[in-house]
Amino acid sequence: MIYFDNAATTLYKPQEVMDAVLTSMKSSGNAGRGVNEASLSASRVIYQAREALCDLFNGEDPRQIVFTMNSTHSLNMAMKGLLRTGDHVITTVLEHNSVLRPLYELEQEGIELTILPCDALGRIEYEEIPKEIKKNTKAIVTTHGSNLTGNLLDIHRIGGIAREYGITYIVDASQTAGVYPIDVKASNIDILCFTGHKGLLGPQGTGGMYVRGGLRLKPLLSGGTGVQTFSKEQPAEMPTHLEAGTLNGHGIAGLLAGVEYINKKGMSLIREKEMLLMKRFYEGIKEIEGITFYGDYDTEIRCPIVTFNYKDYDSGEVADELLERYGVVLRAGGHCAPLMHESFGTVEQGALRFSFSHMNEIEEVDKVIQGLKEMTTE
């Protein structure tokens, strides 16, 4: 199998991540539910993971890192915890359904929504953002990197606009956390939502968010916390305010190991390898007649993703042939990005998305280039 679906989840995890999960499963009790060594060891690992993630994103305080199941969970907590009837929100067509569906749901409850369009290459016009800001604009929600095209948004620039107008900025870093440096302070990001199982190389079922100190969100869940048991309300202090129920301690141990692996290996080295593979693949197939790419490939500041269609073939059909003949795993279809497909006119056809990991090899890329050349000349 040649696995090129790393934008969905990274399949090849560092050995350290697997070891950390196993160790945790053998030794961790329930974090924050007692002071025996089993419980304390879980609490310590979780706190260490808060520190590591806070450092990674240059946050102010590890206690502002909240653990969740994934980005979808974090984004729901951010938007539903912040927005109230009458608020206005600005987002983009680049967004994944994890941003769009909660916003559509909130729209039914009386929030106003503005969705910025993109051009033919999937880029937004930043100058349009201030023009859309109104008196009741409460938040801007954008992805850092499109999961369909791999295009990056300039979150630093958008954060600057949000700060200028006193608006909360929520960023979906699903595709970029662990691959691109993110500085929540310098870029004026109020809430950063991330998942653990993609670029951070951790287990599925891990994720989280960084919430700027002083920003209050209404909790999505309330329940057991191991503290303030007889209070009828969820504790007001972070991170407990947003963490009800037993945390995924075993998974978080793996996530911590993933972050440590990235720090040790170097995020830039990881990214360079992924970009090398992406570029080699793009260059290798761009001359094939009948290919239409989606995204901006003139820039090297992008996610390691290449997305295209071949003539008017159903993307699922092409993906199936690639799997059957060459054992290539990629993603066809809509990629949970409905507005991007509407923009590109690919609702019916879907698209073929290849996404790379630094653990992929050049030879794998070359095999797929060769396969595509064979398929398209028959």
Partner 1 sequence: MRKKELKLVVTFHTTADAMAMEKAAKDFGLKGRIIPVPRVISSGCGMSWTSDLLEKEQVLAVMEKAGIDVEELHEVLI
Shortest separation between residue 218's beta carbon and partner 1, angstroms: 18
Stretch that binds partner 1, among 56-64, 80-88, 95-103, 118-126 (CB under 8 A): 56-64
Shortest separation between residue 202's beta carbon and partner 1, angstroms: 19
Q: Does 350 bind partner 1 (CB under 8 A)?
A: no
Stretch that binds partner 1, among 13-21, 28-36, 299-307, 324-332 (CB under 8 A): 28-36
Contact between 122 and 148 (Cβ < 8 Å)? yes
- Judged by CB under 8 A, the residue of 135, 166, 230, 348 near partner 1 is 230
- Judged by CB under 8 A, the residue of 35, 108, 324, 363 near partner 1 is 35
- Judged by CB under 8 A, the residue of 18, 227, 269, 301 near partner 1 is 227
Buried-exposed string 303-334: b where 16+ CB fall within 10 A, e elsewhere: bbbbbbbbeebebeebbeebeeebebbbbbbb
Q: Which candidate, 281, 274, 292, places its Cα nearest to that of 358?
A: 274
Shortest separation between residue 152's beta carbon and partner 1, angstroms: 32
Stretch that binds partner 1, among 165-173, 219-227, 306-314, 338-346 (CB under 8 A): 219-227
Q: Does 49 bind partner 1 (CB under 8 A)?
A: no
Q: Does 62 bind partner 1 (CB under 8 A)?
A: yes
Report which residue type is found at 286. K
Q: Which candidate, 295, 297, 317, places its Cα nearest to that of 147?
A: 295
Rounded to an integer, what distance in angstroms lies between the CA atom of residue 314 and that of residue 333? 9
SS3 208: strand
Q: For 354, phi and psi rounded to 5 degrees?
A: -110, 125
Look-up of token digits 């199998």: 1
Binders of partner 1 in range 268-327 (CB under 8 A): none
Q: Does 330 bind partner 1 (CB under 8 A)?
A: no
Alpha helices in the chain (DSSP H): 15-27, 37-56, 71-82, 97-108, 128-132, 155-165, 249-265, 267-285, 315-326, 338-344, 362-377
Q: Does 234 bind partner 1 (CB under 8 A)?
A: no
- 37 versus 374: smaller Cβ distance to partner 1: 37
Write out the residues near partner 1 by the rule CB under 8 A: 31-32, 34-35, 40, 43-44, 46-47, 50, 61-63, 225-231, 235-240
